[in-house]
Structure 1
């Protein structure tokens, strides 16, 4: 118990926050020479490359533009216009009435769920502010971050995806054999799609292949249940594989963009999400139809309610494990793994408890996601990890893989009304999760003010300090200190 308390204390207390740390502008502040085109272009390049990493990792358009503007302003380019769309960033800096504006553009041509890279770039932006490093040094550090290899071997990621599927199958109510089958099929999906990705196959068809692999072994095992003497619900195996395929999609970013005022980027991300989900559905449907044509017996889908509090501790642990393995599969740092596991445990617990009040899966999902977003924002600050890491990992156990499969199966079985109801339910759960995370992160940023950081030897420990607000009068200027995110606080 003492070891657990010590580990938790290190997570939330010992380390300074990335978003909470009170930073001051360098003294004396020496902004770049706005008349030097080369220097201005170098500063703009650093800012837009920072935005490229954030956007590629699924960060919302508004948050990405704020970070780009933050880096540019640090170098003296205070008047900047930033336009972030689905896969491009345009940055234009105003240099006065007598000089033409300087502008640059960056197209994001990749998607990288490397949470270590995301955290490293987040820390680099703080260094740019605190240490006033030159644009040349910042560009060199940024290049080192983006070209560095993944912190774990690729087989570690494969194991993490497979273990995540096994954990989700337990969360849905499966036993040991279901978990083993989900583990094996997901490992095959990951290795197969890695080969297909190396061949340049579009992601849509990779998801089709993933859906086929997720469904085929489950149906075969169901048809061999009597000779093998096993009783396995194949729907849980398929649902676990579908959830893993859904977890890599930018659900949070698309809904967050729509809520925070970036409709163009939200539309593009959402259309990509729909297409990739359609690929998964097509793959599962193809497997079911082929197996039916070959004379295989298809299982009957149960519409029983999702997990109750009957085995609450086991399901909470399964939720924590699935979030942890998702973060590991996305190459998160070790300190972020603990925060992700706590987020998954909290989300699963709140969801299961909310279901006990018969409020339905959509409201339960929204409630759980809000708590995950809020708690994740606070934990991520102390873990020196972007909140996106904890939030996305925390809601992963709640993705509607089973509802999606139930709806698809009903549509294939000519139960159109039942199938569309389940599919729309899956859509509603997904939107509720993304909206809840967005609200929770907003609450974490709004309610909790930065703590004053005091030095105690080599350690810095946070201490709450009550500050009296003073209203400005007679034209006097109000003194403000700025947090790392640039928000003024009294």
Structure 2
């Protein structure tokens, strides 16, 4: 009977730490990770472990988890960026969310319309990237506020990725706060309030309201047909002089030029000058420059529409010369403050500002107009008066945003709409049409006012967040203030009140 062969036991080799470039051992017995508290804790332990550690997580599971978190983060950033947030706010949101979900070594960047997010595994040096192209942006402050609150909740207490995506889908697919008709009425109120702001008669105010309604109807129809924004603005700018030509037929003593000024202010209210200055001052030079070019393109279309329509009307004997400024008497000041509130309320209605913030934006709009009138009467000039008004509105917006739980960006932008330099722009373009070189100076003045409004409001928020905070270390990685995200006004690491 043959004897069974015996196998000599293999001696046990001592454990050797893997080379830093060698992937850590993989354990296939670990279950598939989910984007919940357990998965987040496991990923954080894996990321924090040194390269010589035996802590192991399946590579395919980590990749699946990373892709799910990056996809959620990109969707959230896309919504706030498309709704009016700046590049810095969207970048800060992406970094905060990925860190909250346990991903280290994440890089985020925005270049005009391209959002990029990349995560590199610190042990395997493998990267996973995501990018999105945000081609169309509209001011929707209700969606921006709701998404900003969701981002704050996920940063404080991350939930399952599927659950977070459901909450985001609910926000995106929810019905507008107001119907299209009421939004159109809101934009019309911006034009009517602007006409009243410069002392227009009741006929002028009504004409400006109707012109605003027609302009929004036409631009919305053109936008649905994917007509470039420049041509939309040309059409919108051409409507104002047409309605201005009708005013003398009804009221010969009225100033038809104020109808054009009102429509200019309405069209400039949604221009991205504030976002362009914010991105540039925050270090996003490419994005800021691109948005500034976009603002100049819109303004150029507006100038072309108004100037072209005015030239055609001039052939029929209609003179749209600008009259002297309204004298600053007590009665006129009261009318101007009321008109400023109407403009802010209309803009808030058109951009769907949350109802709880309506009283704050209207109050700050009146305050900003009062500061502007006081500074102008004191002889500070248009640019410095606009900067002073924006600084005051920016400082008070920190308190107002905290009271109504709304991002400061929503309150600041709405409060500064009555100060849009529509009158200076109108003077400039008409003078340029007549070959007067002074028109260029007026156009430069209008640009300086727009930059002063944005830069002063941003400086005010920077001062507030520097003096009172920020409590989150994330903000120290950025140059400018966070305007569209709830931030803590506290230097301590303990949870505090968010704005």
Query: What is the CA distance between 1:484 and its match in structure 2?
Result: 7.8
Work out which of the residue numbers 441, 456, 464 in structure 2 matches 1:421: 441
Query: What is the CA distance between 1:67 and its match in structure 2?
Result: 1.2
Distance change >3 Å, CA 255–CA 422, structure 1 → 2 = same
Query: What is the CA distance between 1:485 and its match in structure 2?
Result: 7.5
Following the alignment from structure 1 to structure 2, what is the Cα–Cα distance between the partners of residues 445 and 385? 16
Work out which of the residue numbers 283, 300, 306 in structure 1 matches 2:305: 283
Within the alignment, does 1:355 sit opposite 2:376 as a pair? yes
Work out which of the residue numbers 74, 96, 111 in structure 1 matches 2:137: 111
Could you tell me which residue of structure 2 aligns to residue 447 of structure 1? 467
Q: Deviations over 1:325-354 (max 9, x none)?
A: 101101111012122112211111111111
Following the alignment from structure 1 to structure 2, what is the Cα–Cα distance between the partners of residues 389 and 131? 25
Query: What is the CA distance between 1:164 and its match in structure 2?
Result: 1.5
Work out which of the residue numbers 123, 126, 148 in structure 2 matches 1:97: 123
Query: What is the CA distance between 1:381 and its match in structure 2?
Result: 2.1
Following the alignment from structure 1 to structure 2, what is the Cα–Cα distance between the partners of residues 343 and 306? 23
Could you tell me which residue of structure 2 aligns to residue 234 of structure 1? 256
Within the alignment, does 1:481 sit opposite 2:489 as a pair? no
Following the alignment from structure 2 to structure 1, what is the Cα–Cα distance between the partners of residues 81 and 262? 28
Distance change >3 Å, CA 411–CA 309, structure 1 → 2 = farther
Q: How does 1:328-343 map to 2 (within 5 A)?
A: 328-343=349-364
Query: Unaligned stretches of 5+ in structure 2?
Result: 1-35, 47-58, 472-489
Could you tell me which residue of structure 2 aligns to residue 82 of structure 1? 108
Query: What is the CA distance between 1:231 and its match in structure 2?
Result: 1.4
Could you tell me which residue of structure 2 aligns to residue 11 of structure 1? none
Within the alignment, does 1:269 sit opposite 2:287 as a pair? no
Could you tell me which residue of structure 2 aligns to residue 365 of structure 1? 386
Following the alignment from structure 1 to structure 2, what is the Cα–Cα distance between the partners of residues 251 and 75? 34
Within the alignment, does 1:69 sit opposite 2:95 as a pair? yes
TM-score, structure 1 normalization = 0.83
Q: Is the 8 A contact 1:32 1:40 kept in 2?
A: no
Q: Is the 8 A contact 2:204 2:247 kept in 1?
A: no
Cα RMSD (Å):
2.3
Distance change >3 Å, CA 229–CA 207, structure 1 → 2 = closer
SS in 2 for 1:481: coil
Following the alignment from structure 1 to structure 2, what is the Cα–Cα distance between the partners of residues 79 and 359? 49
SS in 2 for 1:422: helix
Q: Is the 8 A contact 1:321 1:344 kept in 2?
A: no
Within the alignment, does 1:156 sit opposite 2:182 as a pair? yes
Q: Is the 8 A contact 2:390 2:453 kept in 1?
A: yes
Distance change >3 Å, CA 262–CA 96, structure 1 → 2 = same
Could you tell me which residue of structure 1 aligns to residue 405 of structure 2? 384
Q: 1 or 2 for the larger relative contact order (CA 8 Å, sep ≥6)? A: 1
Q: How does 1:146-295 map to 2 (within 5 A)?
A: 146-222=172-248, 224=249, 228-293=250-315, 295=316
Following the alignment from structure 1 to structure 2, what is the Cα–Cα distance between the partners of residues 299 and 271? 29
Q: Is the 8 A contact 2:105 2:122 kept in 1?
A: no
Query: What is the CA distance between 1:319 and its match in structure 2?
Result: 1.1
Q: Is the 8 A contact 1:407 1:423 kept in 2?
A: yes
Query: Unaligned stretches of 5+ in structure 1?
Result: 1-25, 452-466, 470-478
Query: What is the CA distance between 1:480 and its match in structure 2?
Result: 3.3
Following the alignment from structure 2 to structure 1, what is the Cα–Cα distance between the partners of residues 199 and 429? 20
Distance change >3 Å, CA 360–CA 136, structure 1 → 2 = same
Following the alignment from structure 1 to structure 2, what is the Cα–Cα distance between the partners of residues 37 and 158? 47
Following the alignment from structure 1 to structure 2, what is the Cα–Cα distance between the partners of residues 85 and 385? 26
Following the alignment from structure 1 to structure 2, what is the Cα–Cα distance between the partners of residues 404 and 145? 38
Following the alignment from structure 2 to structure 1, what is the Cα–Cα distance between the partners of residues 408 and 100? 22
TM-score, structure 2 normalization = 0.82
SS in 1 for 2:121: coil
Q: Is the 8 A contact 2:240 2:306 kept in 1?
A: yes
Q: Deviations over 1:7-27 (max 9, x none)?
A: xxxxxxxxxxxxxxxxxxx99
Could you tell me which residue of structure 2 aligns to residue 140 of structure 1? 166
Q: Is the 8 A contact 1:372 1:437 kept in 2?
A: yes
Query: What is the CA distance between 1:308 and its match in structure 2?
Result: 6.2
Q: Deviations over 1:227-282 (max 9, x none)?
A: x4531112211111011101111111101111111110011000000001100000
Following the alignment from structure 1 to structure 2, what is the Cα–Cα distance between the partners of residues 245 and 272? 14
Q: How does 1:396-435 map to 2 (within 5 A)?
A: 396-416=417-437, 418-435=438-455
Following the alignment from structure 1 to structure 2, what is the Cα–Cα distance between the partners of residues 362 and 306? 19
Q: Is the 8 A contact 1:235 1:301 kept in 2?
A: yes
Query: What is the CA distance between 1:99 and its match in structure 2?
Result: 4.1
Q: Deviations over 1:382-436 (max 9, x none)?
A: 21111111111111000001110111111112222x2111111101100001101
SS in 1 for 2:185: helix
Query: What is the CA distance between 1:73 and its match in structure 2?
Result: 1.0
